[in-house]
A and B are shown apart, each in its own frame.
With several copies, the nearest count.
Chain A
């Protein structure tokens, strides 16, 4: 028997298959498709102090095995989340993690502090990597020193478990992950989307109103997996793997690479039951391979070959 339960920062998760921020709204939207109790954790859409209307259209576009988005972090704001969205989610055994962002260090701190006071949830996930917004979310996450600073500041005021979500748009992701660990993060989650674009050749202009957007979906899985593999070998805190997971086989790859939990993003849009299918497949695989739990799965890789890159 495979035991799917995991624990991170003192919180218990019934399983390691979670849904990613920005792809699962506030959870309730998936009630028609899925028993939310089946999901390990729901990471809700990125929250800011004030509600945000998001970017001008076009906001999304499909590319080969992927999609671009430039939603602009549209969200209901932290207060509405706590008042209107969270109570519904609390009906479920599923854990809730709040993805948060700010324009400045202070804003990050303020959202984290507010949620620490008002939300009984399993953690906050600091989005220091969103490539969409003018205000410069990208800046924090692409530099270890800035990362260390914002994570330290948030850590001081955040009494909830602290996840930091890393950007893949960097030369070397390991120093950033280490900075998070050093600054007191309980876990890192990766990857966010890759900065990318598409051009409408008939109109001869970028498809997205913001020119650039974030690439997600199966196309990016090999990049995400590589980064998870690297980071899992660079830090001691748990790594949550994200990027292009759409089948249970993908999830198994991430666990073998060293992830303690995984998040499913884009696939929720076109297969709203995917989280359940991934969990079922994962359990089957582990039982077939006689792997008792997630910790064992993370250790199940054969001895490592020389790393030559």
Chain B
């Protein structure tokens, strides 16, 4: 874990309010595991940052050859808006690598379930797994077509992508959980890896429980520090409160207490 600055080397605008920021840092590029995240300053003015707190972002993809990694950012508030305006060459303060990571059971088919910007940790998962063989499936839901991003990149890796939109503007009309139910009908020896908004994760966990399928979820919550010192990122599990930045962000989906785990 380091507190360091990484240089912004590429800025890629995607659909809607999403974009990819590529940073140069060979160490992160070499070491990041799928699901791990970084705390990133939302203002490069280190003297008097505003907003003050760093923001958590999953490592999206890595290029060990180029010594760079990327993050996927969706603009939703002040911090992400400012990040969308970072200039090329900016040296952005950050802390990482942080958190645990998805652990895939090689004996089971892996299905990734992503809601909106919850797609973020799965590209790296696909990058890592695709070499290990085995077909990979991504179920990807969003409100509308413009919220679906980087699907081609997944397809280029050889991942099968099934998409849904609530407004029907792309893929199946409906929710990503509908896709999951359909999928599970004839694939019982699976494991689910999910990331997205709380209510989606809760729905996924209900379905997984019904089908008795293992589930790992990457949870979202406010994070004050990202490295286990503010005690602010507690989520409730059947084993009690757990700091999401330390014991997570990936949790056993069957042990989450969704009602009492806060919301962002």
Contact = CB atoms under 8 A, between A and B. Distances in A.
A32 B232 CA distance: 20
Contacts of A25: 228-229, 231
Given A32-B1, A57-B261, A266-B52, A272 B232 contact: no
A89 interface: no
Interface stretch (B18-26, B41-49, B152-160): B41-49
Interface residues of B, number: 37
Interface in B34-93: 41, 46-54, 93
A66 B3 contact: no
A110 B47 CA distance: 43
Nearest to B227: A29
Given A24-B229, A65-B52, A66-B52, A269 B224 contact: yes
Main secondary structure of the interface of A (DSSP, over half): loop
A56 B224 contact: no
A60 B230 contact: yes
A55 B241 CA distance: 9
A60 B224 contact: yes
A272 B3 contact: yes
A52 to B, nearest CB: 10
A59 B229 contact: no
Nearest to A59: B232
A270 B241 contact: no
Interface stretch (A67-75, A91-99, A169-177, A188-196): A67-75
B260 interface: yes
B29 interface: no
B262 A268 contact: no
B234 A59 contact: yes
Interface in A97-147: none
Contacts of A53: 240-241
Interface in A1-31: 22-25, 29-30
A218 B3 contact: no
A30 B229 contact: yes
Contacts of B151: none
Given A25-B229, A59-B262, A273 B234 contact: no
B194 to A, nearest CB: 19
B9 interface: no
A270 B41 contact: yes
Contact of B222 (A32, A60, A273): A60
Nearest to A217: B52
A29 B228 CA distance: 7
A268 B229 contact: yes
B94 to A, nearest CB: 11
A29 B48 contact: no
A54 interface: yes
A54 B228 contact: no
Contacts of A85: none
Instruction: List the 7 shortest-distance A-B pairs measured between CB atoms, nearest first.
Output: A57-B262, A60-B232, A269-B225, A58-B262, A25-B229, A32-B1, A71-B231
